[in-house]
Structure 1
């Protein structure tokens, strides 16, 4: 079983790979379309700006490939910027089309209530919709660094955190999952999420 961590020069891949290695996952950092097409699961990591990231994915012909692999039922986990890229569009800098795998728009966190943007640090989670990834997450703390949030319909919103508003922390649709925080930087709680994603990938790969 192999999980492909998609390489598009958008950062934080070393920590993701280290966390997966701790879990005994056979993971490869790659932008090779053939490797991605044959992987049992995908992780789309990322830090940085949405328009730049989408341009890089397009340049590497990864948009079409990711959509095709997901359409075949392969599980995908987007992390931080990777989660934001899952939705239809973003208002960051300019309106930019996203992967469109989950309905919604990425919007700026309002700078209100005296709270700093970017939202940075440890925040507790509130599970609003149970999925295979949300087990034991209620009231646990994870690590966030972001200035934008995914405004998605409630049917796709799984976990929120309070930052002057209920900020989407995890979203999903079918075999596509997103975590706005960094599981790879969130201690045992984060490792637990990655472990459950590994289990989803394994279950899917053995059922096909």
Structure 2
């Protein structure tokens, strides 16, 4: 399992920051406009950028939608066809779903949600926990994207799960710990799981980079 993790993903150790870009926002048809959805964690807003000219298309003020100034939008991700996009709100314990017109259409409740990843073969969104939480749940959430139902919260062997990613075929999900120098690989079909220990001193597994 060590080889699988090392060949598919590169672990990056980063400092805390509040703005995230979603590469999935580009997975749209060539005819449709391409957008980036950027979290402004300190100002409870999300900026939509037109990728063709790098100009701001719209800024979504979450307070105007009824959320607090402490909503803390953390991470965004979009459906492959660009029809919907999603954002985690640490301060509201919510995962929001917007349509392509940037209208809020649904939401799911999940404690201190952080980074997200999608299953390319299933209607599923996997949600990790925020690195800023004092004592986040020792699990990650499984959300059905069409109805935004929380189907499960999968328990883990380690604390402070944060980095999260899926393999291109959707058969494996990878979760990294912020506190225990470990990465879990779980088969999404059989639920078989393996732990990879990271050698060396104290490390923070904060993000996976997809190299495929």
Whose helix fraction is larger, Structure 1's or Structure 2's? 1
Q: Which has the higher contact order (CA 8 A, sep 6+)?
A: 1
TM-score over 0.5 for the alignment? no
Normalising by the residue count of structure 2, what TM-score does the alignment of the two structures yield? 0.28
Whose strand fraction is larger, Structure 1's or Structure 2's? 2
Normalising by the residue count of structure 1, what TM-score does the alignment of the two structures yield? 0.28
